[in-house]
Amino acid sequence: MFANSLIDLQNVSTDFLAHLFSLSEKLSQQKNSDRQLVEQRRGMTVALTFFESSTRTRMSFETACIREGVWPLLLDSKGGTSLDKGETHEDTLLNILAMGPQLLVVRCGDDFDLGRFAQTCSTPILNAGWGRRGHPTQALLDAATWLGHRPDLSGAKLLVVGDIRHSRVVASHLELSRQLGYEIAFCGHEEFLPESTQQKVFSKLEDGLQWADAVMALRFQMERHQNRHFENDFRRFSLTVENLKMLKSDALIFHPGPINHGIELTAEVLKDPRAVVLEQVRRGVWIRQALVRMILEGETVS
């Protein structure tokens, strides 16, 4: 397996998850960085390599690194790098590794085999969103957010609505749900559902909302659909103030972001007290900070 890297959540242990959630909770209470720790880590770097666009994941890793006293070095594919000259992703990462970062954080598409690459590296690697393959830190921060509202996810029911077929977030939740014991069901237009699935599927959104303890709306991935007429099919499954009357009063409403307003949900939904979209973002910093700390301290992240 991978050398202290986190590429997927298939084999993560319950001990690791418990420790991660507990550490991220502890970090959420911390007002300032530990000055002694920051002093010890002077000169250490974490390379944040984003071959695809990101706001939340990138900036929360930057925040996490700064709070942990390690310098975040950012390569953003849109920032005029030698990727423009045709340098490959693999060569780019090998050159960055040659500069000796303590950790490499990577966002990339399906065209790069991050799993194989990680197996060849002695530096720990964190998957920050890999094509449709997985987005483990997103699933972990979602779970941390949910655990902030209920002590145990065993038997809890998560309804995922939207562009499930193209979602790396769903891929990671399917892995994590096996460890934490929550059930996942899907709802959406057939164009957006997986071609085959073992999950429960609701054809009517209202039925799914009645069943769920939490609902997650997923972004309509416009960049993956040539034919925009699907946008209208997608809107049939939008979360609205009206249909959310079917959702339990203590349920949660998630969206990993970015949101297409009026497509996955209407703006009023974000004012619903059950909506925790910005809490997900806050938790994302603490989960990523906890992972950075565990890796810097040599603790296993699996």
Binding site for ligand CP (CB under 6 A): 54-57, 129, 138, 256-258
Q: Indicate the Cα dihedral angle 209, 210, 213, 214, nearest 10°.
A: 10
Alpha-carbon gap, residue 113 to 116, rounded angstroms: 6
Which is closer to ligand CP, CB of 69 or CB of 256? 256
Q: How far is the CB of 185 from ligand CP (least distance, A)?
A: 21
Q: How far is the CB of 120 from ligand CP (least distance, A)?
A: 26
Residue 136 dihedral angles phi and psi, to the nearest 5°: -60, -40
Structure tokens at 115: 């799993």
Which is closer to ligand CP, CB of 100 or CB of 258? 258
Which is closer to ligand CP, CB of 123 or CB of 172? 172
Which is closer to ligand CP, CB of 69 or CB of 167? 167
Q: How far is the CB of 75 from ligand CP (least distance, A)?
A: 15
CB atoms within 10 A of CB 147: 18
Q: How far is the CB of 207 from ligand CP (least distance, A)?
A: 27
Sign for the pseudo-dihedral over CA of 285, 289, 292, 294: negative
Alpha-carbon gap, residue 267 to 288, rounded angstroms: 28
Which is closer to ligand CP, CB of 54 or CB of 302? 54
CB-count exposure of residue 270 (10 Å: 0-12, 13-18, 19+) = middle
Q: How far is the CB of 97 from ligand CP (least distance, A)?
A: 23
